[in-house]
Amino acid sequence: MENTKLAVVAFGGNALLRAGQKGRVEEQAANVYTTCESLLSLVKNGYNLVVSHGNGPQVGNILLQVDAGEKLYNIPEMPLDICGAYSQGFIGYLIEQQFKNVLVKNGLDKNIITLVTQVLVDENDKAFQNPTKPIGPYYTEEEKDALKLKNPQDCFAKDPKGKGWRKIVASPKPIDISNKEIVERLSREGNIVVAVGGGGIPVFYPEKGRLQGIDAVIDKDLASSMLAVYINADEFYILTDVPKVCLNFNTASEKRLDTITVSEAKQYLEQGHFTEGSMAPKIRAALNFVENGGKVCIITEASQLGQPMSGTRVVRG
């Protein structure tokens, strides 16, 4: 057990919901099963695992349900942190169930446990002065104005494709993760732990000794990277929808990267090779892990796990 490697694996959005799907539970369960099958190579090679996941589409659907419930039945609206907790619970349930199904099919036996995870942020983080993350339903301009009268602190942005207005919230940096010691202990004991779902539930201290949720969305890969550092993980995997990180992505001069050093990754970031809505946050999460003691971060597609030279490896240097 002492020589067993510990890996944190961050599920990408397509691990739960694929393009063109409506988000039915059956679809998401099947997708999770396929992704968990990809993790078998790590399990069979003796790795202890911590799994994190995205939750954007799921929280979006929950917010739509909350919005409809308030309009049609006068059910009190739930804040974003509660909706995030909802999503952590049901996605964790799907991962526990489908991963167990995969293990049983392959003659393996491991406990799988989900921890609803709070992540501490700073209410004075500059991200709160410049919210950028769209969430929830689309509104007409009249509906948006009515909501602003009701909650003047809310911010909205107009959809560039003309679908209407959406609420936007901040994406602050995580500064601490609840129960990180328990995550490490459980995982090193051989249990598969699901934690930091959706980047965690953002919380802060409005006064000393009192935690409270806050409307925000934490980057899932960055929070997962921080957890990997805290629990002294050997390796950090970011699963996405491409097999390798590329320069000049989707152009005639596209170049797939097998291994990049920290200094090279920083140079590529500065040169604008990675877009903010896609690969740039993943590269920053990889850098955070490797620069703070991690051995290697591998960015790849789930189906590539276990294959020789799979993914892009971010290493020190």
d(Cα 296, Cα 42) in Å, to the nearest integer? 15
Which one of the listed residues 12, 13, 56, 197 is annotated catalytic? 13
Is the Cβ–Cβ distance between 180 and 143 less than 8 Å? no
> Is 148 tagged catalytic?
no
C-alpha R_g of the chain: 20
Is the Cβ–Cβ distance between 293 and 262 less than 8 Å? no
> Is 133 tagged catalytic?
yes
Q: At what angle do helices 56-73 and 80-105 cross, to 10 degrees?
A: 130
Which one of the listed residues 144, 180, 244, 282 is annotated catalytic? 282
Residues ≥6 apart with Cβ < 8 Å to 230: 177, 180, 184
d(Cα 179, Cα 118) in Å, to the nearest integer? 8
Which one of the listed residues 12, 14, 167, 197 is annotated catalytic? 14
Two tokens at 69?
Answer: 């419930």
Helix or strand (DSSP H, E) at 49:
strand 48-52
- One DSSP character per residue, 67-129 reads HHHHHHH-PPPPPHHHHHHHHHHHHHHHHHHHHHHHHHHTT----EEE---EEE--TT-GGGG
Q: Which amino acid is at 231?
A: I
d(Cα 31, Cα 22) in Å, to the nearest integer? 13
> Is 158 tagged catalytic?
no
Which one of the listed residues 55, 84, 133, 244 is annotated catalytic? 133
Which one of the listed residues 60, 220, 288, 294 is annotated catalytic? 220
Catalytic residues: 13-14, 133, 220, 282
